[in-house]
Amino acid sequence: MAATPHRHLLQPCKNPAISSSETLKPSSSFSLSSNPSIPLIRRRLPTFRCDFQNRRKWMNVDHHISKLNPIQIVPNSRRFQMSSNQENSVEFSKKVCLFYCPETKALAERIAAQSDAIQLRSISWRTFEDGFPNLFISNAQGIRGKHVAFLASFSSPGVIFEQLSVIYALPKLFVASFKLVLPFFPTGTSERMEDEGDVATAFTLARILSNIPISREGPTSLVTFDIHALQERFYFGDNILPCFESGIPLLKKKLQQLPDSDNITIAFPDDGAWKRFHKQLQHFPMIVCAKVREGDQRIVRLKEGDPTGRHVVIVDDLVQSGGTLIECQKVLAAHGAAKVSAYVTHGIFPNKSWERFKPDTAGCPEEGMTHFWITDSCPLTVKMVKNRPPFEVISLAGSIAAALQI
């Protein structure tokens, strides 16, 4: 595939220092021809440097002449490389200072590896003798006027308070903007009020986050992935800007890489999962299961779709005990599925419930799963299931790095 010119070079260069083609002198000789079959680059790729104006400031970028088409100019700089396999290419031009909590250190490092524009910053996480947090933000004056983000993990009530203390402090350090990245919104399953006296803790946490101090450029932005109940987006107040992302695009890329990618069928364990994800997966054949009550038990049954001979991938936003997924797996295998795999964005697995899932090593889908994909939204789970089939971790690092540029 021929390289395409960078969009900033489609316009005449506005730098008076570079106003003619004489400035663009490659280090190796080459000739131009109307016949694309003639090899035009005789030695190494010629390289030159061009200054151009972008977003009210000058930038210096190395470029080379395309080997396939020497008329086209391609940027060498990592900062301007576009990802051809992303639906929306992202330009990493905004420098961001990324802070993180101890749980998310590994994920933060993977995010920073996506772009030189993302710089990791540290926080000292200590405690006083009475157990309360003793926190210190290193080089606080050094982030004045800069774009700042914090990568959080509310894995338990015990760590929320110390992270909230940092989250409330960072915007008040004269930063240009503040973005909170909370990959998993933990109280998402606690939004229902069925009896008088039930407390919707999802609403409580949303109100706490809605009162984060504003930065110099305005309200805080919140980035979260596949929040459990769609109505929870309306729990947030006007002083925060929620950005709801999804891990499904990452799953789709993974499915395209499978050797049996043309035999994939998507299964949803209930109507709620279908409502959430079916539009993103509409080019796949679909199966919908349903939970029905028989006496004191809730049983999973096949509602619609045919799994016969197919590699069926169960898709949901999260898993806790895993009971529903296992029942769904058994139903699909009983109806003729050749393979059964699963994907959830958030693998919570309290009390080591991940141990219930076994790999399919003998071609028996009723006994085990071929793949179980989770993301790294829950860092503690990632540590437990690492290198344990059938689990495979899909990182959100690229998606988060792109969201930091919004």
**Could you tell me which residues are annotated as the binding site for Mg(2+)?**
226, 228
Angle at CA 168, nearest 5°, toward 167 and 174? 100
> Which stretches within 157-277 are classed as H helix?
157-169, 201-210, 248-256, 271-277
219: left (phi over 0), alpha (psi -120 to 50) or beta: beta
Long-range contacts, stretch 319-322, CB < 8 angstroms, 24+ apart = 319/344, 319/346, 319/347, 319/348, 319/349, 319/374, 320/189, 320/348, 320/349, 320/350, 320/353, 321/350, 321/351, 321/353, 321/356, 322/349, 322/353, 322/354, 322/356, 322/357
> Which residue, 308, 228, 223, 222, is CA-closest to 265?
308
Q: Which residues, listed in sequence order, are joined to residue 51 by a DSSP beta bridge?
A: 60
Distance, in Å, from the CA atom of 348 to the CA atom of 387, rounded to the nearest integer, reads 17
Tally of CB atoms within 10 A around 194 = 5
Strands 133-137 and 123-127: what pairing? antiparallel
Q: Omega into 359 within 30° of 0, i.e. cis?
A: no
Asked if 313 and 341 count as a contact pair (C-beta separation under 8 A), the reply is yes
CA-based end-to-end distance of the chain: 29
Where is the binding site, in residues? 226, 228
**Pairing of β 286-294 and β 264-268:** parallel
Give the max Cα distance, the chain.
84
Q: Do residues 193 and 200 touch, judged by C-beta distance below 8 A? A: yes
The CA distance from 269 to 290, in Å, is 6
Structure tokens at 30: 């080459």
Q: Which long-range contacts (CB under 8 A, 24 or more apart) does 132-141 make?
A: 133/161, 133/162, 133/165, 135/162, 135/165, 135/166, 135/169, 137/99, 137/166, 137/169, 137/170, 137/173, 140/173, 141/173
Structure tokens at 258: 């499978």
Mapping DSSP to helix (H, G, I), strand (E, B) and coil, where does residue 38 land?
A: coil
